[in-house]
């Protein structure tokens, strides 16, 4: 249940502040601290929406605030309304309104009819820490703004959270982009989601994206995006879940690894398994390497698990990949500002050529994976089993979790990389 109050901290407080800022009740930037200023904004918001003005953000407050996170609201048409007048009232383009309501006839609105109205601000926020709740709300908002995309739940996490893939396109050339394998690498979630939003906007308006015709990419490819592979771990790392049995479990696991800061250093899923060391591509070698490093049991980092694909999140990605004909995959991680492209002696056709294009577009060098991280990753398994181009893109510089102020630079580096990857998938 959503319940936040004075002195609470974490990514859910940032989500609350984001909604208050977007609705005009709070100024400044989200800081994740529920202080007096945030409490005052909550009270004013509650008064405006005729809620109990107690300064506690509970379910009723969240339900009213939710539309500012999902980025749209439902309007009931009144007599005399037109799509043009509704668009003008919302401060959005007519195209945005028509895109969100493809089955509505602009010349035949009827009183009582309900339509989806996007807000004028971009959907994906780039100044907050991410949680599974925020990600799910943005997915809802994405499917409302762009109803031509498809949402597929491909599995459940250890704690039962949905593992979701969004797909866009009508072509037979499939490309898979994922992020959020590692909990403390959550900054890549808005990178991939923001790109997806801009790609869909460009496709809907027949615009160009990084020099490519977005509508041509859309017609000839299908882009599969899984923005958050590891929802449970991410909620630990960003303090979205700081109570209950799962947080206590993670805290107990971390206590045996005091050199890893808790919770922000948490990388694994909630079982203490590194999801990117779970794939059947040299898993026994990865196990030997990590055991020699001391990771012989559940850990906040680097534990390979008790067997390949023992974790539901890894198994979901594995099964989804088997069931789709991906020509290229991109797995987003951090950090290093580098692209890893090989596994062992495998050299899939076109992989080096495409890798150099992605490198040129992003400015990230194309490199071999370090020996102690060369096995059992998703990219490794994809290359091994499909003999097709697969890339691990390591964004940013520094120590995970990367600071939010790196987002703009990371995004500007990766936007052209992602667009080029879709184009190259179209060309294969």
For the cut 90, the answer to whether the pLDDT of residue 1 exceeds it is: no
**CA nearest to 226, candidates 181, 184, 170:** 181
CATH-assigned architecture of domain 132-233+310-427: 3-Layer(aba) Sandwich (3.40)
CATH of 11-68, one of 1.10.3720.10, 1.20.120.1200, 1.10.101.10, 1.10.1740.110: 1.10.101.10
Tokens 């995959």 sit at which residue? 329
Domain with CATH 3.40.630.10 in the chain: 132-233+310-427
pLDDT class of 16 with cuts at 50, 70, 90:
very high
Supply the pLDDT for residue 106.
Answer: 82
198 is catalytic: no
Task: Give 105 or 71, the one with higher predicted confidence.
Answer: 71
Q: Which CATH architecture has domain 72-118?
A: Roll (3.10)
pLDDT band (50, 70, 90) for residue 84: very high
Indicate which residue of 198, 302, 394, 413 is catalytic. 394
What is the arithmetic mean of pLDDT over 250-273?
Answer: 97
Distance between terminal CA atoms of the chain?
Answer: 47
Residues of the chain with CATH 3.10.350.10: 72-118
Q: Residue ranges of the alpha helices (H) in 54-213? A: 59-70, 83-90, 94-100, 132-145, 188-204
Express each pLDDT in 46-60 by its tens digit: 999 999 999 999 999
Confidence label for 108 from pLDDT (cuts 50, 70 and 90): confident
**360-364 average pLDDT score:** 99
Average pLDDT over residues 219-229: 99
Which residue matches tokens 């500012």?
Answer: 68
What pLDDT digit, counting tens, does each position of 376-386 carry? 999 999 999 99
What is d(CA 139, CA 168) in angstroms, rounded to the nearest whole number? 13
Q: Is 168:388 a contact under the CB 8 Å cutoff?
A: no
How confident is the model over 130-156, as a mean pLDDT?
Answer: 99
């Amino acid at each position: 249940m959503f319940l936040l109050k004075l002195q609470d901290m974490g990514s859910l407080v940032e989500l609350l502040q984001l909604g208050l800022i977007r609705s005009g009740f709070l100024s400044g930037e989200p800081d994740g601290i529920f202080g007096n200023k945030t409490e005052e904004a909550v009270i004013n918001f509650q008064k405006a929406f005729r809620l109990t003005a107690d300064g506690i953000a509970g379910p009723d407050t969240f339900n009213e605030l939710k539309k500012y996170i999902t980025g749209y609201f439902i309007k009931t048409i009144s007599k005399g309304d037109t799509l043009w007048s509704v668009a003008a009232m919302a401060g959005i383009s007519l195209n945005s309104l028509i895109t969100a309501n493809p089955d509505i006839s602009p010349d035949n609105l009827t009183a009582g009819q309900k339509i989806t109205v996007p807000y004028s601000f971009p959907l994906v926020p780039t100044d907050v820490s991410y949680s599974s709740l925020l990600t799910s709300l943005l997915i809802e908002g994405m499917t409302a703004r762009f109803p031509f995309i498809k949402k597929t739940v491909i599995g459940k996490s250890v704690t039962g959270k949905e593992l979701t893939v969004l797909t866009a396109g009508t072509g037979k050339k499939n490309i898979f982009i994922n992020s959020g394998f590692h909990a403390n690498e959550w900054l890549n979630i808005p990178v991939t989601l923001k790109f997806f939003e801009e790609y869909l906007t460009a496709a809907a308006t027949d615009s160009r994206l990084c020099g490519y015709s977005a509508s041509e990419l859309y017609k000839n490819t299908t882009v599969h995006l899984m923005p958050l592979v590891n929802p449970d771990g991410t909620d630990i790392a960003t303090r979205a879940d700081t109570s209950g049995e799962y947080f206590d479990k993670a805290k107990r696991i971390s206590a045996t690894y005091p050199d890893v800061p808790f919770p922000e250093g948490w990388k694994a899923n909630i079982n203490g398994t590194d999801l990117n060391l779970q794939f059947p591509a040299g898993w026994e070698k990865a196990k030997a390497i990590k055991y020699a490093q001391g990771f012989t049991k559940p850990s906040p980092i680097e534990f390979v698990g008790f067997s390949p694909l023992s974790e539901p999140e890894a198994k979901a990605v594995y099964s989804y990949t088997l069931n789709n004909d991906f020509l290229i995959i991109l797995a987003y991680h951090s950090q290093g500002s580098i692209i890893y492209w090989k596994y062992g002696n495998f050299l899939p056709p076109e992989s080096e050529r495409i890798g150099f294009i992605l490198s040129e577009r992003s400015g990230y060098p194309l490199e071999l994976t370090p020996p102690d991280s060369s096995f059992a990753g998703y990219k490794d398994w994809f290359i091994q089993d499909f003999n097709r181009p697969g890339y691990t893109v390591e964004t940013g510089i520094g120590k995970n979790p990367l600071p939010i102020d790196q987002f703009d630079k990371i995004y500007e580096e990766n936007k052209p990389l992602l667009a080029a990857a879709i184009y190259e998938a179209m060309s294969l």
